[in-house]
Structure 1
Amino acid sequence: MRKPLLVSKIFAAAFLFATVFVHCSDSDSDFPGGKISKLPEIPWTGDLNSIPALLRAANPAASEDAKKGGRISIYSHQFPKSLNYYLDQFTTTARIFTSMFESLVIYHPLTLEPYPNLAKSWKISADKRKFTFYLDQNAKWSDGKSITADDVIFTYDTIMNPANATAVFRISLSRFVKPVKEDQFTVSFEAKEVHWNNFNDLASSILILPKHHFDGKDFNKENFEFPVVSGPYKLIESKKGRYVKLERRPDWWKRAYPFHKTTNNFDQVVYKVYNEEAVALQAFKKGDIDVYPVYKASVWVEEAKGEIFDKNWIAKQRFFNLKPIGFQGWAMNTRREIFSDKRVREAMAVLVDRKLMIDKLAYGEYDPTNSYYPDYYFGGEKNPNTPVEFNVEKARKLLAEAGWKPNAQGLLEKNGKPFKFTILDRDKSTEKYFTVFLEKAKEVGIDANIETTDLAAWSARVDKYDFDMTWAAWGSGVFKDPEAQWHSKYASEEGQPNLPGLKIPAVDVLIEKQKSEFDLNKRNFIVKEIDKIIYKEYPYVLLWHLPSTRILYWRKFSAPSLPLGKYGTEDFVTDYWWFDEAADSQLKEAIASQKALGEYKAVVPWTK
């Protein structure tokens, strides 16, 4: 699903994030993970004293035992319409793009303290309006050119250019005037207004682009070729609908920085695409995929079985940590007359039997979501929102109050128009949930149907708000900024995350209020107030969430003591795990002799 979470290397603060059927043929075995010819290590000839002090210490989230080498292949369930994250905020795109391009600042993976990245240091004025970044002069593009203030300014100009499909990124950058080049390696930004997130919006939420490569090109067409990068990986091959292959850069400019020495360990990372879950799972069981993040309960409960699991050749692990939890649900487009009435939207919500869906269709794996910020309430704090309960008769009453009356055929009508709408979907496996809803909708006189399309077409239509109802899932961040998701001013601008088109003046006032609140507890209180208001407007039929991360993987890898870190999800695997030759040999011997490997922890709890 579409997500607004920027998944970045190490840990960047959260901010606002074409499927083709692939047959599992022999050619799909081109890139099994494991041992490959090692890339040559290129000595770093820079001055060690020039490394920023904070980056001279080891990364506490990484393992000193990590080794470079090997290949890892990861399942991706749909091929992105673009690998340019500025143009498409698909989760896989974010992982790939942040492997190739870097932000000015990163965040410490445990403390969330800002750490140097492209910028070796920075200065914030006393009035919190001016931000000056001093670039690390060791920073180089892959073609050897220095990363300069011109690149930072060019990135700003590219995002702010209304001709580019970068609308979601313009929200935050619109708070700044055009940056100023103080000198070749120093750039400053001045904010038009004080905002608690101004620093992060500049420091970690924009990925710097090479001006000398992109200048003069149509940025909207820069989708699958990125010959000049700055990050630890480069794109070496992509085949639409099949895979995207990255290769580690032995010449990465930060390769000698102690903080990064035991991260980004795989020589190759391959994202293998299968549009059909059943085909993907069989490819994984055959060994054509190494790591299989599980997003569906049926796969976890019913399909992850058999000899390869019984003999522990594959690890089936559930990880708990403090990762931010977003929400998923069925967005109702209030721009359409049929969903402009809150009573109708509430009726849709009470027609959804979440308990039945979770228990019978999702094997009891999930918890119902009763907030747009559910992770606020994981620590025991009482959620003030009243859970929406399945109630057909209440739905009838709400629809009647909204003016929808049954005709002679029992179908609802209002002003001579039938209650009819289409659900825009992009994943046939979710139809079983919609089918349960459609049965109840038909029972009360609603004519609804499903239109299934691919990711590219779905994304294009959603960006233009060309839908009645659609399933969308959103990531979250440690620090919540509700502006893009809920502010009225973004309800009409294409490509923004306010999918329902909600316009609530009281919410706008609270969003403006939280902008200048630097106290986290006070700001969280404001966001909770926003949540209470929005929840009662029913812009989504809220569904459910999973407080853990489920991963299947062949046991040829090793991981740090906190396998997914403090806040990470499956993206942590490519950043911090490594190919373990000894484990790989043991796995091969066990398979050859049909013997079981040793036990492992099926559930990895969060420990401080």
Structure 2
Amino acid sequence: MFALLPFRRRWFSIVLILTLWLSCQLIFTSCNPAKFKTNAAQVSQWVTGTIGDPKTFNYAFNQEYPHVFLFTAEGLTTLNAMTGKIEPALAESWNISDDKKRMTFTLREGLKWSDGEPLTADDVIFTYQDIIFNPKIPTDWKDGVKVGSSGAFPKIRKIDNRQVEFIFPEPFSPFLYSTTGGSTNSIAILPKHALEESLKSQDANGNPQFLSTWGTGTEPAKIIVNGPYKIESYAPSQRVVFRRNPYYWRKDSQGNQLPYTERIVWQIIESTDTMILQFRSGGLDTVLVSPENFSLLKREEKRGKFTIYNGGAEFTTTFISFNLNKGRRQNGQPLINPVKSRWFNTLAFRQAVAHAINRKAILTNVFRGIGTLQDSPIEPQSPFYTPLRKGVKVYDYNPEKAKELLLNAGFKYNARNELLDADGNRVRFTLLTNVENKTRVTMGSQIKQDLSRIGIQADFNPMTFNTLTDKLTNTFDWESYIGGFVGGPEPHDGANIWTPDGGLHVFNQKSQPGREPLIGREVPDWEAEIGRLYVKAAQEFDQQKRKEIYAQTQRLAQEYLPFVYLVNPLSLAAIRDRLENVKFSAMGSQRGALWNKYEIKVAQ
């Protein structure tokens, strides 16, 4: 080509090509999060990612996973993801009275917040008494510490600056687990000196200013934490940067201050496909491995200098759920079209859907066989799991059985094999999921196809995670969705899902404090019974007796199907070999990849 051009034009073309090449290099380099470090300040760091912006910097209002508090928050205790045992954290020890009604915690000496202020028993009492027990503060933490059928909170008493005592009206076995802080969905301690004033002052509507305190627009320097990292900066839709907390309490066996790594960059990447591309190009140090990309990453493991860790089955549930809420808004408008609400609240309809979904095909085609079928709200790894078919219903793929259930319930088919209800209404509803999760999107496409085989039209509509969450927890404007919950070995961790007034009781959600109350919401007997059983299990310290109680909750959940469970995937993550001291487990923060983040070292 150059031979056909005059000399000057050839020279201009060469300069143009070099300019374009350099521009591309600058663009790709600037977009690569691995290049986030500047020449002026080279520090040890590792880079990980998440698919959405954080919604709050106030842990009391967190309803998402993963979340920034995995890096910034700690509770009185912590959960060791390798052993499953509860270990000391902010509290160096605890004592349970013989009658199981008193629990005393002793804080470590010299604890400090990230701003250098002392962390004392006053902060513990503030967190529980002024925030969790406060009826004006709608935190999901309440659900995990309500005691007995009355839902009473424990009393809390300060003994001295390092000791606090919790007094229970009856034995309450899950309380210790609820104190495990940012490693699970449990309670972390919040700073009294930074937040007390926001509880005393009110906004224009008479609500505590605390409700809007520490939103994501807050200057990061004002977010006071007690975990291994503090928030250094936040650029929406780009990244959250965490910096080592200089006052963190942990030290290694040689007395060195932890954490080892100076900085963590949490890239906000709106697509799992893009996240994998960035990991393969060296832009990320860790990434969760899905069935779709397992084979590709496994082939590149050696060349890419990373290791794929397998922690076994995840402590998660994946499901399709229908909105069973019969409530109305204050203007009389029902949350759900009454015609569709009748379908959803017909047990045979939900059981027919369970039989119509080919979960084995989902496991094979979507998960590439990397997982197991799920038939219980309690994960198989939990010591409280009840083995299948011991009174727990299992819904095998059986379209003919599904049709039989529907016909017996008064539904019928037209000449085009479309399902109609008894009044001749076409059975058609909207199925939602979060578009960023490619696995769920693929599952939704198959579920739509499966349901069409029994005459049901599911209009599949993937949407952004934040929009979906708003529908589920605020507006209640949804018909069905594919979702999941992150759990742990202690079933009471899901009390806010299963108690009828729980903050994550999404299939029949009660309006939370500060929001428009609903009219005519109904709680059927089976739903109330599951809530009562969770209360009963919490009163029992004998593990075998607790297991028997939770077995009853599993039987009821599978009988009445508020959630149609699908597939439990394996917990897989790809982690750069330059990250040292990785202890991988399916249990713990970041789905096990980084639960011991304070021990992670970055090889130079």
TM-score exceeds 0.5: yes
1:426 to 401, 416, 434: 434
Identity of aligned residues (%): 22
Which letter maps to 2:294? W
1:554 to 572, 576, 583: 576
Structure 1 equivalent of residue 263 of structure 2 = 268
Which letter maps to 1:304? L
Which letter maps to 1:290? D
Please give the secondary structure, in 2, of the residue aligned with 1:531: helix
Structure 1 equivalent of residue 189 of structure 2 = 208
Which letter maps to 1:97? F
8 A Cα contact 2:154 2:169, kept in partner? yes
Distance 1:145 1:423 in 2: 49
Q: Residues 30-87 of structure 1, C-alpha deviation per residue, up to 9 Å, x if partnerless? A: 4448998889xxxxxxxxxxxxxxxxxxxxxxxxxxxxx6211012122232243322
Which letter maps to 1:512? V
Give how far 1:271 is off.
1.3
2:451 to 435, 441, 447: 441
Structure 1 equivalent of residue 240 of structure 2 = 244
What is the TM-score with the length of structure 1 in the denominator?
A: 0.76
Give how far 1:283 is off.
1.5
1:101 to 73, 78, 89: 73
Please give the secondary structure, in 1, of the residue aligned with 2:560: coil
1:352 to 353, 357, 374: 357
8 A Cα contact 2:382 2:490, kept in partner? no
Structure 1 equivalent of residue 215 of structure 2 = 223
Structure 2 equivalent of residue 299 of structure 1 = 293
After the TM superposition, which of the residue ranges 144-153 and 285-294 deviates more from structure 2?
144-153
2:543 to 515, 520, 530: 520
Give how far 1:324 is off.
6.3
When residues 82 and 389 of structure 1 are mapped into structure 2, their CA distance, relative to the original with a 3 A threshold, is same
Number of equivalent positions: 516
Distance 2:455 2:304 in 1: 52
8 A Cα contact 2:393 2:559, kept in partner? no
Distance 1:565 1:408 in 2: 49
When residues 310 and 207 of structure 1 are mapped into structure 2, their CA distance, relative to the original with a 3 A threshold, is closer
Structure 1 equivalent of residue 62 of structure 2 = 88
Please give the secondary structure, in 2, of the residue aligned with 1:139: coil
When residues 32 and 128 of structure 1 are mapped into structure 2, their CA distance, relative to the original with a 3 A threshold, is farther
Structure 2 equivalent of residue 389 of structure 1 = 396
Distance 2:381 2:576 in 1: 34
Please give the secondary structure, in 2, of the residue aligned with 1:122: strand
Structure 2 equivalent of residue 602 of structure 1 = none
Structure 1 equivalent of residue 133 of structure 2 = 160
Structure 2 equivalent of residue 339 of structure 1 = 344
Map of 1:192-591 to 2, 5 A cutoff? 192-202=169-179, 204=181, 205-217=186-198, 218-221=209-212, 222-224=214-216, 225=220, 226-249=222-245, 251-256=246-251, 258=253, 261=256, 264-294=259-289, 296-301=290-295, 303-304=296-297, 309=300, 311-320=302-311, 325-335=315-325, 336-375=341-380, 382-384=387-389, 385-407=392-414, 410-427=418-435, 429=438, 430-464=440-474, 465-481=476-492, 483-490=495-502, 491-494=508-511, 504=526, 505-546=528-569, 548-559=570-581, 562-564=583-585, 569-572=592-595, 574-581=597-604
Structure 2 equivalent of residue 54 of structure 1 = none
Please give the secondary structure, in 1, of the residue aligned with 2:363: helix
Give how far 1:209 is off.
0.9
When residues 142 and 488 of structure 1 are mapped into structure 2, their CA distance, relative to the original with a 3 A threshold, is closer
Matched, 1:183 2:160: yes
After the TM superposition, which of the residue ranges 526-535 and 340-349 deviates more from structure 2?
526-535
- Structure showing greater radius of gyration is 2
Give how far 1:501 is off.
7.4
When residues 228 and 85 of structure 1 are mapped into structure 2, their CA distance, relative to the original with a 3 A threshold, is closer
What is the TM-score with the length of structure 2 in the denominator?
A: 0.77
Higher normalized contact order (CA 8 Å, seq sep 6+, divided by chain length): 1
Distance 1:380 1:154 in 2: 36
Q: Residues 576-600 of structure 1, C-alpha deviation per residue, up to 9 Å, x if partnerless? A: 332112xxxxxxxxxxxxxxxxxxx
| Unaligned runs of at least 5 residues, structure 1 | 1-23, 40-68, 582-608
8 A Cα contact 2:394 2:558, kept in partner? no
8 A Cα contact 1:196 1:518, kept in partner? yes
Structure 2 equivalent of residue 129 of structure 1 = 101
Matched, 1:118 2:121: no
Distance 1:462 1:551 in 2: 29
Please give the secondary structure, in 1, of the residue aligned with 2:61: coil
Matched, 1:77 2:63: no
Structure 1 equivalent of residue 505 of structure 2 = none
Distance 1:291 1:372 in 2: 29
Please give the secondary structure, in 1, of the residue aligned with 2:552: helix
When residues 450 and 257 of structure 1 are mapped into structure 2, their CA distance, relative to the original with a 3 A threshold, is same
Q: Residues 261-301 of structure 1, C-alpha deviation per residue, up to 9 Å, x if partnerless? A: 5863211111112112222222222211111111x211112
Give how far 1:416 is off.
4.6
8 A Cα contact 2:242 2:263, kept in partner? yes
Which letter maps to 1:280? M
Distance 1:516 1:378 in 2: 17
RMSD: 3.3
Give how far 1:553 is off.
3.0
8 A Cα contact 2:103 2:166, kept in partner? yes
2:121 to 149, 154, 169: 149
Please give the secondary structure, in 2, of the residue aligned with 1:271: strand
When residues 565 and 450 of structure 1 are mapped into structure 2, their CA distance, relative to the original with a 3 A threshold, is closer
Q: Residues 306-328 of structure 1, C-alpha deviation per residue, up to 9 Å, x if partnerless? A: 6xx1753332423236x763321
Q: Residues 476-513 of structure 1, C-alpha deviation per residue, up to 9 Å, x if partnerless? A: 222222533323344543469xxx97751443443333
Distance 2:596 2:138 in 1: 30
When residues 358 and 200 of structure 1 are mapped into structure 2, their CA distance, relative to the original with a 3 A threshold, is closer
Distance 2:228 2:540 in 1: 36
| Unaligned runs of at least 5 residues, structure 2 | 1-26, 199-208, 326-340, 503-507, 514-521
Which letter maps to 2:242? L
Q: Residues 553-575 of structure 1, C-alpha deviation per residue, up to 9 Å, x if partnerless? A: 33322235x54498671133634
Distance 1:489 1:423 in 2: 25
Please give the secondary structure, in 2, of the residue aligned with 1:246: strand
Please give the secondary structure, in 2, of the residue aligned with 1:375: coil
Give how far 1:89 is off.
2.9
Give how far 1:467 is off.
1.8
When residues 183 and 203 of structure 1 are mapped into structure 2, their CA distance, relative to the original with a 3 A threshold, is farther
Distance 2:278 2:84 in 1: 38
After the TM superposition, which of the residue ranges 285-294 and 174-183 deviates more from structure 2?
174-183
Give how far 1:339 is off.
1.0
8 A Cα contact 2:78 2:179, kept in partner? no
Please give the secondary structure, in 1, of the residue aligned with 2:59: coil
8 A Cα contact 1:352 1:390, kept in partner? yes
Structure 2 equivalent of residue 172 of structure 1 = 145
When residues 452 and 235 of structure 1 are mapped into structure 2, their CA distance, relative to the original with a 3 A threshold, is same
Give how far 1:515 is off.
2.0
Which letter maps to 1:459? T
Give how far 1:144 is off.
2.0
Please give the secondary structure, in 2, of the residue aligned with 1:176: coil
